[in-house]
Structure formats: C-alpha cells, structure tokens
Amino acid sequence: MKGKAFLGLLLFLIMFIVPFLSIGAKIPDKTDKLKKAASSVPQAKPQQQSAAAPGAKSAVSGFKILDTKSNTVITADDRSFLYGAIVTEMSPDFHPEALKAQGVAAYTFYSRLREQQRSNPTASLKGADFAADTQGWQIYVTKEQMKQRWGANFDTYYNKLTKVVDAIYGKVLKSDGELADATYYAISSGNTETSEDIWGGKRKYLVAVASPGDVFASGYQTSAVFSTAQFKTAVLKTAPKANLSGDPSTWVGSIQRTASGTVKNIQIGGVNIKGSDIRSAFGLRSPNFSISYANGSFTFLVKGYGHGVGMSQVGANYMASQGASYQQILAWYYPTTTLTTLH
C-alpha cells in the first residue's frame, strides 16, 4: 500500500510539473503561492460558508429563459434549473463532487445574470433573464429532454443528479457581497487564465491557477491544418490590411502571450491581431496555440478547449477523482470567494 501511495504521489507531481515546463512563462507570484498548496491534489481550503440555513429559498425564485429555437420564453424553478444547467456542461458520468462544483458555478453565474436583467432589462431578451438553445443542449434542458437523450440510463443518471442537487441547492459564490462572475469552460492548457488578460476586466477571484489534470484529458491538444489559400482568406477577413504577399513562411511574426500561454496578440502580415480573433477565424478550440508553416500549409497546434478563465471542468473532475470536495474545487478555481446560500 505504501508503494502504491508513493507511486500515486509521484505521478501527481509529474502531472503538476508538466504544464509549467510547456508554457515557458512564469505564473504571477500569487499563483506560485497557490501552487505550493498542492500535494496529491491542489488542496485549497473550502470557502467560509454563511450561517444561512442550507436549502434556503431565494427571494428571487425561478428563471425566465429565452429559447432561441422557438423564440419563446420558458420558465424553470431554481431546482429544475440546476438539473438542466449541470448536464448541458458535464456528463452525468463525471464524479459527483465535480458535478456539485459545476452546479454551484452555473447557479451563481446565471443568478448573477438574472439579477442584472431584472434591474436593467435587455429588450431583445423579451423579459427573459438570458437566452439558451435547449434543443442544442446549451445552458439548459428540461427533464423530458434528458429522458429522450438518456433512454434506459435516465433513472440512474437522474437519481445521481438528485443527490448532487440536494447537496448544493441554493448555494452560490460571492465576492465582496456580490454574486461572483463564476465562468467555466472545458479544458485548460494546464493553467487557467486571468480575466484581465483575456477580457480586460480584473476580478480578484479569476486569476491564474494550476490545473495539472487537464494535460492528460482527451482533446487536451488538437491540431488544424490550412492551405496557404485558406489561411490567407481567413486572415484577410479578420485583418483586411494584412500584407500577405511574398513567401508565406514570413507572414507570421511575433506573438504576445499571457503567463499561462494564451495568445493575446499575434503579428500576421505586419498587422497585430488578437489571439481570440484568430481563434474565431479558424475555428480553433482555444486561443492557446502555435503556428508553423511547411509544404504549403499552416498548422495550428492548440492546447485546451475554451477561454481558460475560471473553472476547468476536466480539471474539476480530476481533482474530485483525487479526493477533493466540491468546496475545495471551487476554492481552488475561484480563490477569495465565499460559498454561501442565496437568500
């Protein structure tokens, strides 16, 4: 048993170190301190919980959701919303603690949108709190849609989700007394990103932290190949003033990256272009990429899947598999937030 424990610890340490060798940039000091807290998993302390009774009902109950396919506003009570929001983001096969963390993050994020819309409505939402594509399983789905998709597995999955929802119903993350902007995504590059680097808005709880389990996830690294003509067409749509004449091997210039490796700006054809714009132009899974040219083709090597800010869903599942509670997962990916009950 001691031998297995040692091997397990050695494996995690290898997993923890790999991401930092690959990005070639130093994570800010604040994150270095967080990294030192890791042993077998990143052991962040659970957030302090408020004295509100577990399961207390929200003063604002129910969500109004604009279904983009039917162009109608549907309603869901807070509990039903949790079921539908969790399964559009994570497989029900994920670890229960990861599902709980996802549920709290989603409930916090959309409760924040609800609060904003009800104080300052957006006309295009037709009185809804936000929009969702229920047919495409984006943001929210109903119980009936779960039955249709899961078939014979419905009871097993739904019973598992019920235990998850029972444990987290009404729980949210707050920062300085306000609902946190609890963003999340599929897979990090091995480290998360700061909101300031990606979107320009600084939030003290959306900072760079290690997410070592991601590097072994299916789909962590992907590639995309484009011919010279395809590359030129896509770039010129995004940056019409780019000079893409002469030898294609000279078209791509300097790249400015964040500490965690995401491309902030890249020079192509003498023009600086945002990494997020290149991601959109070429349909890449994330803005953390490198470009090479050979034999008439440009190849993108991409790390991660998503914007990289906040909680990595694969990272959360890895932490859960290593024994972390949902409180520890949330504390790791959203440091300085407080886990409390919406009331």
What is the chain's percent helix, strand, coil content, to nearest 5? 40, 20, 35
CA distance 318 to 84: 22
Find all residues with CB under 8 Å of 118, minimum gap 6, and list them: 60, 129
Neighbours of 150 (CB within 10 A): 15
**Lookup: tokens for 176:** 């300085």
3-state secondary structure of 242: coil
Query: What does the pLDDT read at residue 61?
Result: 79
Q: How many CA atoms lie within 13 A of 208 on its CB side?
A: 25
**What pLDDT was estimated at residue 343?**
67
Q: In the prediction, which pLDDT does 324 show?
A: 98
274-302 as b/e: b if 16+ CB within 10 A: bbbbbbebbebbbbbbbbebeeeebebeb
So what's the pLDDT on residue 2?
A: 39
Q: Are 21 and 191 in contact (CB under 8 A)?
A: no
For residue 207, the tally of other CB atoms under 10 A from its CB is: 24
| pTM as predicted | 0.82
pLDDT score for 185? 98
pLDDT in tens, the chain (343 residues): 434 333 343 434 444 443 333 333 322 332 232 232 333 344 454 554 443 334 444 446 799 999 999 999 999 999 999 999 999 999 999 999 999 999 999 999 999 999 999 999 999 999 999 999 999 999 999 999 999 999 999 999 999 999 999 999 999 999 999 999 999 999 999 999 999 999 998 999 999 999 999 999 999 999 999 999 999 999 999 999 999 999 999 999 999 999 999 999 999 999 999 999 999 999 999 999 999 999 999 999 999 999 999 999 999 999 999 999 999 999 999 999 999 998 6
